[in-house]
A and B are shown apart, each in its own frame.
Chain A
């Protein structure tokens, strides 16, 4: 792999302003599993620095879209672009090198490695940037996610909430420009999900990356995201600001239902 020319955080902010080239986008993506249309022509663009929510009922294709964006599944048709490059058929690690980090719905840590090593793998394998001090970066991230105390523990020995934090820290250690979070609030109570909201806001502020977040916790999504993308049965049902989506008749009918009316 050619060593990619590094871009500092300053360049990141710049590229977010110069539109198309600096984004991660799915264009008319179709994904079939044995004839099941998991995705049926979905387009979505993520800019650095913005937080986008991806919601929809179970089986609407949210996780599949994340997997296509991060290179785990090649789409049946359609393209995926990352920072001006067509990465449709590229392997996940190539896409990770271009600055896409992610977490998984059912936490996938390197169980028998230490917490520090988990984050370190992210740091030494992620987007290449000149003059990074990996050790210092890892220490900072461990500190930021209150993991310093358990840095030398095996990842699987941590409680659930801490494992979630390790996963986010590992993804961030790779200096992503785009962070894909798959149900980070799953299994969290209200207080924890509030804390998660703070964390993600902080991440955007300090790291400047765009965040695409899939979650069922609509309270979290509505408060966190500038833009929401609604999927149903593999197609885009609606997209817009939380207010727009909330007002969308179709969205309410199909899936938001009572859950939101209370909130409004």
Chain B
């Protein structure tokens, strides 16, 4: 009990709670809206909100690695795919599995697992894959790492598209059980946010951020840059695989195209728009991007903008999203939230309100309220 009290009062836990609590509140609010609007768990809005919550896990996972290390990863969609496929191996009913996954060994053929074992095994497989690949990738120079993660995406796509017996190639997988509900999605989104915030304020997270700012000076300060990157790589890949598993158990059917270029772009855009450096940024970016996409998809597919008829344009949603991303990079290169988490912005706004618009010091950041 005393240990617990000390932990809670430590600077680390104070920072973690201060940052995580507002984000958890937002996520829970999203869940409540969904649960109230669609108590039967059906409908487009419900689907949108659940998919948003799962997307939060994916973006937050990528933020853990890319945000803290400053190294772009195109490869995380591959880990989302690993999570989704391994979930399919262990959850699709046996009768269908014999048809779509003829290559599976007998013991896997019989597996019809539920939510939790599927999540566990997917996360483990994702972590294992990342642990192996990371041995090579994490000791490269930053630019070579970026390229290798792109290579990883292409390799994974090649495997998903061609490994007939295990993935059913480009035809895709179907018949997964629906296990993910809005409560479960919200629970894991909150967990992801909490873990990412803890990571950011932890020693490894701090070291990794130092290496993002200046790898050479971090090394000279005693940071094993390779090791910090490796840790974040594996942790964030595991979280991506977990998200993939949640996603698969909600969307039920998928193919290799679901884990490729377009998805990578969407996830990276969310991160760039909200701001790479913060967990809050990942969440804000995911929210804004989801809304933009939803509105524009109406235009793209039905020629419908808030009920008004407009011409259908192919690829419009993606184009506008890309344009917004480019404009953000030019005019606000560190993203909407830049270097401060939501709590820092709340403090800023509160101070501005109370002090009647008096200009604040530029460093009124995370702990600016103290």
A and B touch in the complex (CB under 8 A): yes
Interface residues of A (CB under 8 A from B): 1, 70-72, 91-93, 96-97, 101-102, 104, 108-114, 117-118, 120-122, 124-127, 135, 150, 152-154, 157, 170-171, 174
Question: Shortest Cβ distance from B151 into chain A, in angstroms?
Answer: 26
CA distance in complex: A150, B219 (Å): 25
Beta-carbon contact of B221 and A121 below 8 Å: yes
Residues of B within 8 Å of A171, CB to CB, are: 221
Residues of B within 8 Å of A102, CB to CB, are: 220
- Chain A residue at minimal CB-CB distance from B334: A112
Beta-carbon contact of A109 and B220 below 8 Å: no
Beta-carbon contact of B277 and A70 below 8 Å: no
Beta-carbon contact of B207 and A125 below 8 Å: yes
Beta-carbon contact of B370 and A152 below 8 Å: yes
The one of A1, A91, A122 that contacts B221, using a Cβ cutoff of 8 Å: A122
The one of B222, B277, B367, B370 that contacts A93, using a Cβ cutoff of 8 Å: B222
Question: Shortest Cβ distance from B279 into chain A, in angstroms?
Answer: 15
Beta-carbon contact of A125 and B220 below 8 Å: no
The one of A92, A109, A112, A124 that contacts B277, using a Cβ cutoff of 8 Å: A112
Residues of A within 8 Å of B221, CB to CB, are: 93, 96, 101, 121-122, 125-126, 170-171, 174
Residues of B within 8 Å of A117, CB to CB, are: 206, 209-210
> Which of B21-29, B175-183, B325-333, B358-366 lines the interface with chain A?
B358-366
Beta-carbon contact of A1 and B224 below 8 Å: yes
Interface residues of B (CB under 8 A from A): 11, 203, 206-207, 209-210, 213-214, 216-225, 277, 339, 361-363, 365-368, 370
Question: Shortest Cβ distance from B222 into chain A, in angstroms?
Answer: 4
Q: Give 24 CB contacts A-B under 8 Å.
A: A71-B219, A71-B220, A72-B216, A93-B224, A104-B220, A109-B217, A110-B210, A110-B213, A110-B218, A111-B214, A112-B213, A112-B277, A113-B210, A121-B207, A122-B221, A122-B222, A125-B207, A152-B363, A152-B368, A153-B365, A154-B362, A154-B365, A157-B362, A157-B363
Beta-carbon contact of A152 and B223 below 8 Å: no
Beta-carbon contact of A96 and B363 below 8 Å: no
CA distance in complex: A101, B222 (Å): 8
Residues of A within 8 Å of B216, CB to CB, are: 72, 92, 108
Beta-carbon contact of B222 and A97 below 8 Å: yes
- A121-B206, A121-B207 known; A109 vs B214 contact (CB < 8 Å): yes
Question: Shortest Cβ distance from B341 into chain A, in angstroms?
Answer: 13
CA distance in complex: A154, B339 (Å): 9
Which of B221, B277, B339, B363 lies at the interface centre, i.e. has the most chain A CB atoms within 10 A of its CB? B221
The one of A93, A108, A150, A154 that contacts B214, using a Cβ cutoff of 8 Å: A108
